[in-house]
Amino acid sequence: MNKLLTFGEQINGYEVPVLNEREVRASAGILFFLALIAFMNAWLVGDFRFTRVFVVAFLIDFSIRVFINPKYAPSLVLGRLMVRRQQPEYVGAPQKRFAWAIGWTLALAMLFLVVINRVIGPVNLIICATCLLLMFFESAFGICLGCKIYNLFSRRQAQLCPGGVCETPTALPVSRAQMAVTALFFVGMVFIGQALLNDARDAEPQPAAAATPETTQPASECTPPDWAVAMGHAEKWKLHHNCK
């Protein structure tokens, strides 16, 4: 039982329990991909069913991570399978537990709002965007934003951070040539984007979109609230509330 209810691996040569950062990033990438699909499905189509399923799955996964043992969390198991041939990069487990506790809290809030009470509004959007931001930074850059918050509240600072940022105060500089190439890329994309966005072929009539699976609301319930109108969100509000 003691081995089951543990957090992190005890590896010789490391003072604190550790986790494999490669597995963690792979897991974050998997969850980010699924969360983005759920978010876009709700935002663009107004169908929140996949979002509700994802919220429940996310909460279960993070409950296993935080309260039982990360090695049994399904997303981390999949992450381990994906990177099993890569050299492990061990990072401190305590700060990860704190960061994942933040994710668990956000998931619990989404369960209450979206799954149980079917609330649709700006609070959901903020929470969902926060989760996406945290997972994106973890998977794309190896930056654990929750771990940085951990250092603000913990007397014992985080150890064994990804990329050695806890021990290495400086990084390789970005050269002028690198900045120039990056600037040219963005300038070029502005012109390319304008050309593609203003393509005359896109002005041709498109076939009518298929009806969404959820039942359309009566007209009496399709008046956008003041906050939706104020933020220019009236049409999206109607879409999200099945007011077609």
> Is the pTM above the cut of 0.85?
no
210, pLDDT greater than 70 = no
Say which residues have a Cβ less than 8 Å from residue 23's Cβ, sequence separation at least 6.
76, 79, 80, 83
C-alpha to C-alpha distances, 82 to 49, 78, 134, 218, nearest whole angstrom: 28, 6, 21, 48
- Domain ranges across the chain: 18-164, 214-244
- What per-residue confidence (pLDDT) applies to 132? 92
How many percent of the chain have pLDDT more than 70? 83
What pLDDT is recorded for position 158? 62
Mean pLDDT of the chain: 82
Instruction: Tell me which amino acid residue 136 is.
Output: F
Lowest mean pLDDT among 60-64, 152-156, 165-169: 165-169
Lookup: tokens for 202 = 């896109």
**pLDDT score, position 62:** 94
- Does residue 199 register a pLDDT over 90? no
The pLDDT assigned to 5 comes to 73
